[in-house]
Structure 1
Amino acid sequence: MTTINTKGAITAPVNEPENERVAHELINRAIKQAGPDGTIGPATARLIAATIHRGETTALGRFAATGVLNPLEASVELWDGSINELPPAWWRALDMYLDQESGDGAR
């Protein structure tokens, strides 16, 4: 099961209500504090991935659980349309992070 803590380390189940609330607060705060380009750091990207992935065998699930990222596979998962409950600011932030990590940045 994917887990988090306030420092971005993976330690408690995200799907438990209190942890989910804390995760949402941390993500929203990090997005608000992002630089002018809106770029978030890896801890925030992992936290977003932890809240939305469709299983630990998916690219977003592996990234959330281990920090190992395949940015192209994760982008495909993000863009496939099945992750529609994601707040727009979170979606943009994660998309920008994945672009940055892929070295693409041209989307």
Structure 2
Amino acid sequence: MIYLLGIVKFIGPDLPRMPQITVTNTSSYFALSELITKVMKSNYFAGKSNNMAELVSQLPTSQKVAENAGTIMMYVNKRPYIQLDGGEWTLYPRG
């Protein structure tokens, strides 16, 4: 599986020092772009909003998906499925 591990740090001359916040939900680049959108809409850099916990709340989540040249693996209803070389989707065999 591939997991997105992201660290975001906002810096600016008038931003107060904030404690680190950890997002524990399954995340994605879409969630990261949503966070950046929320930060910009909140006027964070103008000092209008400094509640980072509120900004990271309710970010979109996504299912785990792994893909390479010939294989796609993803979870559906908490069960792993695999597609090889564009063929049929099958339940991933567990040994």
Relative to the length of structure 2, the TM-score reads 0.23
- Pick the structure with more helix per residue: 1
- Pick the structure with more strand per residue: 2
Relative to the length of structure 1, the TM-score reads 0.21
When Rg is computed on C-alpha atoms for both structures, the one with the higher figure is 2
